[in-house]
Amino acid sequence: MTGDPRLPGDDLDGPRQPDPDLAGQLAEALRGAGSPYPVLAEDDGWAGSGPAVVVSTRWSPALLSRLADRGTGAGGTVLPVRFDGGTALVGPLVGADSATCLRCLEAARLAAPGGRTPHGDSELRLGGRPAPALLPVLAAVVRSALAEPQSAAARLWVVPPDGSVSAHPVAPVGVRCEGCLSRQPPAPPGTPLTGSGQPPADPVRLRRPNPATDLAGLRRALLEPRLGHVVQLHRHEGYGLPVTRAVVAGPAVTVTGFGRATTAAEADRLALFEAVERLAGYAPHGPAARQWASFAELGPERAVDPAALGLPDLPSAHHIPYAPDVPTWWVPGWSPSRATSVAVPEHAAYWGDLGQRPSATFLSESSNGCGLGNSLEEAALHGLFEVIERDAFLMAWYARTPLVEVALPDELDLVGHLADTLDLLDYDLRLFDATTDLAVPAVVALAHHRMPAVGAPTAFFAAGAHLDPLSAIHSAVVELVVNLHEVRDTWQGDSARADRDRLLPMLDDAALVRRMDDHMMLHCLPEARPRYEFLLGAGRTRAWREVWPGLPRPVEDLAALFGALCADLHHRAGVEPIVVDQSIPELRQALGLHAAKVVVPGTLPMTFGHLNRRTRGLPRLLTVPAALGRLPGRPRHEDLALHPHPFP
């Protein structure tokens, strides 16, 4: 665990006090091993030339990084040994050809326990010293590292006070510092989708085979409790299905990937898979060809019009008002319809804090449209399904459109099982056809309590979209049931999260709905029923084959499918999908995993926090419900209720 960041007698602005005695003791312990490396205290005059083991008892990540730079710049090789409280940290060995950034390494290590250490604080200082009895163990670790320099360049050894030793891989993955990004090759100005050389996909699931992404492969590449960006896997029981959370704790982000499946092992795999998607979508992972410009300077042929992304309905202190001549940062995307590069506002292409708010952002973005796959086309296809799913859900919600109810399919045994588990808890599981002009089957799932009461969540929602209607139904129902079980536990546990005194005022003051959790918890109240009564009076329930006749149509060529789907959306609804390549280079190389964000101007974006709602400038919300016969006529924007949505 981390030592006191401000050690007694450590002047943050003055020189550090080296500990030559400890360096001498370690050198003595190493003597006779035949090592050519001298052991030095950090300020013993080492200028970086030649090899050295450098011992630091008071240090900072920035100083450690500069030490390595000093050595590599002079053609030297350094094995850093430093102390965090009573724990010794050895390595990695850094030389002229090293790809390891010690600044990023320490940021990842300090973030792994869950963000309790201020790893981003420029004034952070660490230090400590080992118990004398640990010196022989430490010397053995150093000897081992020096004996195998190639392995030592990719390992961090940790020696805690109990004398145990563990080695941890330091392959760079995830969000990195500006120095790392600047050393990478420049990114191409938009990644074309070619689909060349790809094996056939599962014709219904629309996923390609990839043996590297089985559970064992994902665990090896991602799960590392000391340094890995997935630092923990948590399994949960009692949610109707095995559920796993993969906790991503990196230098810049802490998020979670969820896996829900019929076996615990598959839940683990899916959680790791989603964790990569979350990490990829947070911020750029390479030196993207960013440019600072206004939309007026770039023009509609070269850039996405920010107004077509949906501008905030309400003023926000977190963003600046959009105007065509106001500049922002742009990153390259790719238009399959036009086969050309198209610039996208960076804060619409990534959902994380990019260090530029509020000076150059017009809107708040979520992970909506992010996908992961075994090719860029596969990732983009599933990202597009998510855009279509959320657009369909929000269109029904904001326009309060009645939807055709769909009978539970007999073909999905798991859906029947989950419906039975809900029935035992006095919930009805209902499915509704929310398909829009985008013509990809979209489903809204609702679990509604038959006897609404204060002591249980009354209603819960989820959605799904896929070219296979059964896949859309399966996805929506699994997410709904698992999340509902989790919320029931919260509701019955008298948690502040389910505090009625906190939630009830949100019905009258939508600005109080600030977080993702607020959206779903608010609509668990029985008092929220009037908000969704437009769904409850559906007429005759129809079989899924009657709602979506002729589907699914099996397809194996995902590149051809994605191209045809983009062309159809452009022709049918006048919307143009743009694909931003978010892939993490190391995982693309190691696992064949690609990540993409699909931005579809004109669709309704999923946002969280009512003040971040974006419906302005999106005419489909007003025209499509009437065109589909769900409303008697075209409403005006001011006639829409626009209550906070209940999407989980």
Q: Which residues are CB-contacts of 12 (< 8 A; sequence separation ≥ 6)?
A: 6, 123, 125
Q: What is the mean pLDDT of the chain?
A: 86
The predicted pLDDT at position 10 comes to: 38
Lowest-pLDDT range of 178-182, 275-279, 303-307: 178-182
Distances (CA, A) of 38 to 144, 401, 569: 15, 76, 66
- Angstrom distance (rounded) from CA 464 to CA 415: 14
Place of tokens 């991503």: 248
DSSP 467: S
Mean pLDDT of 409-430: 95
Tens of pLDDT along 27-63?
777 665 455 667 777 655 556 666 788 888 888 887 8
Quick one: average pLDDT of 448-474? Answer: 92
* pLDDT at residue number 388: 98
| Residues 165-179, mean pLDDT to the nearest whole number | 71
- Comparing 395 with 199, the larger pLDDT belongs to 395
Question: What's the pLDDT score for residue 131?
Answer: 83
pLDDT of residue 442 exceeding 90, the answer is yes
What residue type is 161 in one-letter code?
Answer: P
DSSP per-residue codes, 579-592: EEE---HHHHHHH-
For residues 189-217, give the mean pLDDT: 82
Q: Per mean pLDDT, which range of 47-61, 141-155, 533-547 is the poorest? A: 47-61
Say yes or no to pLDDT of 396 above 60: yes
Q: How confident is the model at residue 464 (pLDDT cuts 50, 70, 90)?
A: very high
- Percent helix, strand, coil in the chain (nearest 5)? 35, 20, 45
* pLDDT value, residue 16: 44
pTM over 0.85: yes
Mean pLDDT for the stretch of residues 472-477: 98
**Nearest-10 crossing angle of helices 469-492, 413-424:** 30
What confidence tens digit (pLDDT) does each residue in 96-126 have? 677 777 877 887 888 777 655 665 666 778 8
Report the percentage of the chain scoring pLDDT > 70. Answer: 85
Mean pLDDT over 297-310 rounds to 97
Q: Does 204 have pLDDT greater than 80?
A: yes
What pLDDT does 363 receive? Answer: 94
Selected residue with higher pLDDT from 111 and 283: 283
Local confidence band at 228 (pLDDT 50, 70, 90 cut-offs): confident
Residue 281 pLDDT > 90: yes
The pLDDT confidence band at residue 26, using thresholds 50, 70 and 90, is: confident
- The mean pLDDT value for 333-360 works out to 84
Q: Higher pLDDT residue, 535 or 360?
A: 535
Phi and psi (nearest 5°) for 511? Answer: -65, -20
Residues 6+ apart with CB under 8 A from 447: 422, 427, 428, 429, 430, 459, 460, 480, 481, 484
Q: Give the mean model confidence (pLDDT) for residues 528-553.
A: 92
- C-alpha distances in angstroms, 127 versus 4, 38, 82, 108? 8, 22, 7, 17
More confident residue, 153 or 207: 207
